[in-house]
Amino acid sequence: MNLEPDDGKNPRSLNCFGRGHPKNLSTRSPVVLSGAKDLCLGRREIPRRCASRNDRENSVQNTDMPGVVFVAQDAPEGVLVAVSERGTAPDGTPSPTAFLARRFAQTLGVPDLPIVRASQVHGARVVTVTEPPPRGEIRDAGPCDALVTRLSGVALAVQTADCVPVLLIARDAVGAIHAGWRGAAADVTGVAAEALIAITADPSSARAWLGPSIGACCYEVGLEVAARFPAPFARSSEDGKFLLDLRAVVRSQLEAAGVARENITPYPFCTMCGGERFASYRRDREKAGRMIALVARLHPVGEDVLAGT
């Protein structure tokens, strides 16, 4: 699956397969971002495939809010974990991701929430955000595919259109991850989960939600990609191709990094065959649009008011 660079082109709304990938920039070392310089929805349709009964019973709860795929109802009080439906930005928008993230925050009832977003490069670089942007602003964390922070009153956001969005929380920290096959091959999810666990005072409280992504039912890859993953995650398909279970790869990386299996909640439906409410680059290429995955601890631990109000 190929996702264009974050703001290289403004994706439009609506069939084909995408090939290739942007340059992979990856590193195992989390990066600390201090005083970040320019820091980082479609029709509803019932998805009918790609969800096992087990996954349906353990998945996040849906919402009837327009433009929203889900808001995690089991997140702790004062913690926002949410994923939007597919969306597009007006022509000429300098940063479609920033536009969609701000619109999503408005939909969620936090219109002035500061947001840090990642300029995604399909790598394993993790940025730790230590300074918030001003209220109502969105900053770019630079080339990275994961963000973590202990700050309250600040949202972290990634955008996806087939790749796996992962939203992390702990008692006093949150994180957001964009995991495509290149990032997964570089263990971006494990690196980010380890970074979150390293900054929280309570590692056992780490939890993760996996947003909508392309499923093993539809994610056909060649041998060169399948060979990057252990055999259980890629099964042979027709014409010498393989079906990659990217979601299962991400879950295994979370567990290996120290997130308990029972603390991982999947959204089981496939973006490619699940309907037009989901953004899928594999299905729609440049017309795919994007979905926003957003996480925030709205107020300091132990307080019941929104930071800054």
What is the rounded CA–CA span in Å between residue 243 and residue 218? 7
| Residue for token pair 């300098």 | 94
Q: Name the residue among 43, 39, 33, 42 with its Cα closest to residue 6.
A: 39
3-state SS class at 226: helix
Question: What's the full length of the chain, in residues?
Answer: 309
For residue 278, CA distances in Å to 40, 202, 275, 283 come to 23, 34, 6, 10
Tell me the two tokens of residue 48.
Answer: 């009918």
Please give the pLDDT value at position 303.
Answer: 55
For helices 246-257 and 188-199, the axis angle rounded to 10 degrees is 30
What is the rounded CA–CA span in Å between residue 28 and residue 297? 26
Binning pLDDT at 50, 70 and 90, where does residue 268 land? confident
Burial 172-190 (b: 16+ CB within 10 A, else e): bbbbbbbbbbbbbbbbbbb
pLDDT in tens, 192-208: 999 999 999 999 999 99
Tell me the two tokens of residue 196.
Answer: 């979150």
Which residue ranges form the domains of the chain, and what is each CATH number?
31-215+264-297 (3.60.140.10)
| Lowest-confidence region among 87-101, 144-158, 166-180 | 87-101
What is the rounded CA–CA span in Å between residue 190 and residue 256? 7
HSE-CB for 295 with a 13 A CA cutoff: 29
Burial 68-80 (b: 16+ CB within 10 A, else e): bbbbbeebeebbb
φ/ψ bin of 116: left (φ > 0), alpha (ψ from -120 to 50), beta (otherwise): beta
Q: Identify any residues that bridge with 83 across adjacent strands, giving them in sequence order.
A: 70, 293
pLDDT in tens, 220-247: 999 999 999 998 999 998 788 999 999 9
Name the residue type at position 69.
V
Gyration radius from the chain CA atoms: 17
What is the DSSP pairing of strand 138-143 with strand 164-170?
A: unpaired
Please give the pLDDT value at position 224.
Answer: 95
66 has pLDDT over 60: yes
Q: Name the residue among 183, 176, 193 with its Cα closest to residue 121.
A: 183
pLDDT in tens, 34-58: 333 222 222 223 233 344 434 433 4
Tell me the average pLDDT of the chain: 82
HEC letters along 162-192: CCEEEEEEECCEEEEEEECHHHHHCCHHHHH
